[in-house]
Structure 1
């Protein structure tokens, strides 16, 4: 065990994983749709964030295992916001690339203006305002830099916008002008449907083009981002095709394995290949860790696996059928100082003193007028009328659930004035799939309450309530996740935990039940439930511990 302090005032305690092994997932919790680029000895990786803000985290690594978040691409409301959007909309599938001193991120703002590109000289930021690409119709754009030409490649509609079956899509490309950041020339279709159109392949998406020797490779996901997910590969002698599929596609999938196998990794795909420090090829991709069948609450996570080249074709995870939770790491591990752990078992404390950890998430935008940080009180939230059940910007600050078995706790200081005022901790999946452990008032008495979101009534239902001593001051709250069960505790004296309710249904928070593309967050949250209020709630710290 060791202790260290982040610049963002996070006190960390964690176990170092074994030397010379990759530990999967390399980014635990809701970190889907990874894209990675290599710049000299450095690696930079981005993920989807949907309607959370700031959007698109940027991670840095020297060894593909130890990742440090160095910033966010969308970190200013002037770039964009997601107000009015459901949690699972917003930003889909970013891609990061580098050329001649400039970093590029392309992405899709779904349901809005569509595809865009932003640039930066430093991957930590600041990133530019978005340049919108109205000609690029579809999702999942990425850039490819050939010797003298750049291309933008993306998922798009079926030919003539006439799909032969549900999920029939194409991969298309334009030339891309790196000076004007606009497309030029005519759109070209690279892939129709997928590997074999006669078999009705669905959702060819997440394309990346790269060059090796004299071949251009087009790597893409196929089958949809669930249990049928896969990764396929094509190649051509020209960047614009014609592309021929590998006869042994897919190069990665888990869909044919026994779903009842022990500790499965499933839904693997949306990969990008990158050269490792040893000169060999590795794949970064999304997958999930279900605790039962297809139930998981941590969302789609970032995994790594080795790649072997066979007769000019890459194969991911070549030595096994099932993806592994660890792989040999045939080069020196490089641990970055003052870095929060992202894989294996770990614990940390976030202390709210002067700056926010860049991994903390708001809903849809950031507004510093309703929160304050100081050494005495920690994080103080104004009670806003907005609730987590709407599509606005409530007083909500969250951190990803990164293990199926874990606990999160906080120290709350709050004196509610009426029944509409509530403050406490959420375990939150989306607008109506959440549990809320909070302090409030009922019939003049201060109470501790547990609510469950209700998709049916578009509100929340009271599961448990307990009267507590009035003006008790500081109150500790704790939520414990144990796969498909969640337990809720409180303490009026340090660590003297008492049970409010145990054995609450965790599958309610799963992607299979709630739908969408995100994972669960532990969130500090205060609301006046639609009523005006001048009250405030303070949170001293946020503790997290995951051990599986």
Structure 2
């Protein structure tokens, strides 16, 4: 942490009179001198933010060599992974729903070591999210490379707006504005570029004649003209319902079309996104012809395994396939890590596994009672120091002019609600007239939870002038499932407060008075997976605000939704 000295805040603007003087611990005294707040200050100043994962599995099971990695390879709610390659570079994307920027873009040259290099949808004109709930917005992005025009495509669904794609010649740079596809209905579109230069879009939609039961869907295909960027011809139904319509399968979705050794394969998710989730595959002679299911489907699932097994991985499905230059096939897919098969706050995460081939020529990921492994070897590849998996610690000093890539806002870029340049070395948040339970853009910047056991902390300078103003740490699952730890004012007294935000508003769970302080108030949240504990201090010794706070409240088991839980920094002039 860089020490920042001699600071005066006037009407929300910090004037730096000193310079950085070295590195010190987050838990030591960050500010050497007093900070004075103007009486009408409506901003909160965060000195740093730390996140540290402390899951027992990683401590008790060290990787046996430098060619091994942990599953999930992207922990936290990196849902609906899709992957592609130009033969040299691998790129992977995941869903972001109503968070902004949208669709994180990860890059790798070896399939094990991944680095986020940006977001595909990083401009408001690409990502209209106004009024959308947390689990609406962007569903199941699919990334593809077209070798015929050396162009990368990302196609997806904005659930309130329709289906669209963006494209680029340089994935590390800017992506185009959206090209909307009015004739592609339903959700989960995916491109397929054939050897002959023809292009197709497969997607989830209503079956011919309409649905006959809840969850009855179909996979359809449309031809796509690369030059005009429009679909043409009829929407042809490739799969009705799923592998066996007589069993009334539900939610066939997430389709991907491949050509492998002269055969066309259609791979889809089936069974919904909960514990009955599975991946199935079909084979056909042409992209628009009849596709027959493999006799040994599903090719990936954990749905039938003993629910009392140790360290269960559940909900496995929504896969994509990729081949390496050595001929090996691999798959990325989503799955969950519930605690004792009960609940989790991490959401649907991204896993990576090798693909096997059956004697009759079908790819599969698991068969029978095979478990999704937590530790996998990738021969010939060496793990580097920037691993995205396992226990790790992230420290943000807010010393850069732009936010790090893991930070997200809700429904928009939060322009005007935060600054890293007004007060260099601080994240300054305006007390927005938006509460965290509204379908608007609050002054809230957050990151995903990525571990069951973790610890987060921050240091906050804030002087609320009314009882409606508050700032602090927010654990957020959706509009009606939150824990909010803030500094607030009651009468003339500064307090730390813990609130539980639900459908009926906010319930005060705990509060403690804080005496007059000239320095920051530090806030900390720790988790053992099942429970949260909340701490604060104005000195060096942590004071307990609340313990044994139920973590299940923020889980999908307790709420509806497709995301996991986020934690981040929040400021508001409006009561929840």
Structure 1 and Structure 2 fold alike (TM over 0.5): yes
What is aligned with 1:23? 70
> 1:433–1:452: 8 Å Cα contact kept in structure 2?
yes
- 8 Å CA contact 1:140–1:155 kept in 2: the answer is yes
More deviation, 249-258/14-23: 14-23
1:150 correspondence with 2:196: no
* Count of equivalent residues: 516
From 553, 564, 567, the counterpart of 1:508: 553
CA distance in 1, matches of 2:441, 2:293: 46
Which of 1 and 2 has higher RCO (CA within 8 Å, sep 6+)? 2
Return the match for 1:330 from 379, 382, 397. Answer: 379
The residue aligned with 2:102 is 55
Please state how far the C-alpha of 1:75 moved relative to its aligned partner. Answer: 0.6
- Residues in 2 aligned to 1:527 and 1:443: alpha-carbon distance in whole angstroms: 18
Partner of 2:18: none
Tell me what 1:209 maps to: 257
Matches within 5 A, 1:326-405: 326-333=375-382, 335=384, 339=386, 341-353=387-399, 354-374=401-421, 376-405=424-453
User: Is the counterpart of residue 82 in structure 1 residue 125 in structure 2?
Assistant: no
Alignment partner, residue 539 of structure 1: none
The structure whose residues are more often strand, as a share, is 1
What do the CA deviations read for 1:254-282 (whole angstroms, capped 9, x no partner)?
Answer: 00001111000000000001113532111
Q: Deviations over 1:497-534 (max 9, x none)?
A: 12110100110000111111001011100000169xxx
Tell me the alpha carbon deviations over residues 104-150 of structure 1, each in whole angstroms, 9 at most, x when there is no partner. Answer: 0000000x221001111111231111111111111000000112210
Match of 2:311 among 244, 257, 263: 263
Q: Contact 1:117/1:181 (CA < 8 Å) preserved in 2?
A: no
Q: Superposition pairs for residues 129-528 of structure 1, below 5 Å?
A: 129-147=177-195, 148-161=197-210, 163-310=211-358, 311-317=360-366, 321-333=370-382, 335=384, 339=386, 341-353=387-399, 354-374=401-421, 376-455=424-503, 457=504, 459-494=505-540, 496-528=541-573
Q: Separation in 2 of the partners of 1:243 and 1:489?
A: 58
The separation in 1 between residues aligned to 2:52 and 2:462, in whole angstroms, is: 28
Residues 227-265 of structure 1, C-alpha deviation per residue, up to 9 Å, x if partnerless?
000000000111112101000000010000011110000
Q: C-alpha distance in 1, partners of 2:253/2:126? A: 26
SS at match of 1:36: strand
Verify the 8 A CA contact 2:49 2:456 in the aligned structure 1.
Answer: no
Secondary structure of the 1:513 match is: coil
Partner of 1:542: none
Provide the alpha-carbon RMSD of the alignment: 2.0
Q: 1:267 to 1:13 in 2, by over 3 A?
A: closer
CA distance in 2, matches of 1:371, 1:469: 28
CA distance in 1, matches of 2:397, 2:75: 21
Query: What secondary structure is seen at the aligned counterpart in 2 of 1:220?
Result: strand
Structure with bigger gyration radius: 2
TM-score by length of 2: 0.87
Question: Quick one: distance in 1 between partners of 2:425 and 2:516?
Answer: 20
Structure 1's unaligned 5+ residue stretches are 4-8, 532-548
My pick for the range that moved more, 240-249 or 315-324, is 315-324
1:327 Cα offset (Å):
1.3
Which deviations, in whole Å up to 9, do the C-alpha atoms of 1:458-510 show, x marking residues without a partner? x111000000012443011111121110110112124x212110100110000
* 1:536 aligned partner: none
User: How far does residue 83 in structure 1 lie from its aligned partner after superposition?
Assistant: 1.4
Deviation >6 Å, runs of 4+: 9-16
The answer (yes or no) to whether the contact 2:447–2:568 under 8 Å persists in 1 is yes
Contact kept, 8 Å, 1:308 with 1:318, in 2: the verdict is: no
* TM-score with structure 1 setting the length: 0.91
